[in-house]
Amino acid sequence: MCDSCGCQQDPVPINKEKVVDVHEQLLAANNEQASANRRHIEKMGAVALNLISSPGSGKTSLLEQTIERLKGRLSIGVIEGDLETERDAERIRKKGVPAVQLTTGGGCHLDAPMVHGGLHVLEHMAKGKKFDLIFIENVGNLVCPAAFDLGEHRRVVLLSVPEGSDKPEKYPATFRSADLVLVTKTDLLPYFDFNLEEATSAVKLLKPDLPVLPLAAEKGEGMDAWIDYLLALLPR
């Protein structure tokens, strides 16, 4: 019997609980912007690469040498990510290539909305000229950038000889997310306890079909294979 009015009906249970099945990505907002960036980059005529590594493993030097080899043949644009300073973008501009500096002011990675802003600035700098290759140099960090799709077509992870060959085992998520691993500063191999074979097999253990290219950008060693890799990405 109902308590409130004494009627003979059984009380109707009021179940206010709602169950909502969502199945939505936690990074949905970033991923949507990344897809938009990819379309934007393609409209700019370009293929984009996201370079990820620890600080100081040679991302900017690699870009300088890459520009040196491709200038006159391809139109290149660079987006630089750092916590502070315009320094890296200035190094790239000295090579005669438009470069946008994104400073995160403490943030440990670039995300898709930041790159979106960078693409517009790059477009403005190029005054309507098309690009062939856009490099996005991420903040030096081997952890956080792995989770953020920026809208790149290829993700390249750099591992420099002084860091040690056990890096892929220590930072598996980042290496697993890569399309290419570059072992940089190979001219230092005689001076460091770095085993190239061990590093390569550690990478293959994480992702067997992941290619590994060793190079020393400033010395020109291994640069031909890297340049061939880039050229093969371009639409014929």
Partner 1 sequence: MHEMSLAHGMMQQVLALLREHGAERVTDVTVLLGPFSGVVAESFAFGFEVLKKSETCFQDATLHLELPDPHYRCLECGVETSLPLTRSATFLDPDCETSTSSRCPVCASTRLSPLGGAELILQQVRME
Q: Which residues bind to partner 1, rule: CB under 8 A?
A: 16-29, 108, 143-144, 146-147, 169, 172-174, 176-177, 204-209
Q: Which is nearer to partner 1, 79 or 206 (CB)?
A: 206
Per-position b or e across 144-165, b if 16+ CB within 10 A of its CB? bbbebbbbbbebbbbbbbebeb
Give min distance, CB of 187 to partner 1, in A: 30
Report yes or no: 122 and 97 within 8 Å, Cβ to Cβ. no
CB of 196 to partner 1, least distance (A): 19
Q: In this structure, what token pair is assigned to residue 5?
A: 């009015």
Between residues 2 and 108, which has the closer beta carbon with respect to partner 1?
108
- Residues 6 or more apart from 74 whose CB is under 8 A from it? 132, 133, 234
In three-state secondary structure terms, 51 is strand
Rounded to the nearest 5°, which phi and psi values hold at 154? Answer: -140, 140
Q: DSSP 3-state assignment of 198?
A: helix
Return the structure tokens found at 33. Answer: 């912007």
Q: Which is nearer to partner 1, 126 or 147 (CB)?
A: 147
Give backbone dihedrals phi and psi of 125, rounded to 5 degrees, phi first: -60, -35
CB of 153 to partner 1, least distance (A): 18
Give CA 119 to chain center in angstroms. 14
We find the least distance from the C-beta atom of residue 125 to partner 1, in angstroms, to be 31
Based on CB atoms, which residue is closest to partner 1, 66 or 141? Answer: 141
Q: How far is the CB of 118 from partner 1 (least distance, A)?
A: 21
Nearest distance, CB of residue 208 and partner 1, angstroms: 5
Q: Which is nearer to partner 1, 18 or 127 (CB)?
A: 18
Q: Would you say 124 and 154 are in contact if contact means Cβ atoms under 8 Å apart?
A: no
Amino acid present at 137: E
Smaller CB separation from partner 1, 89 or 157: 157
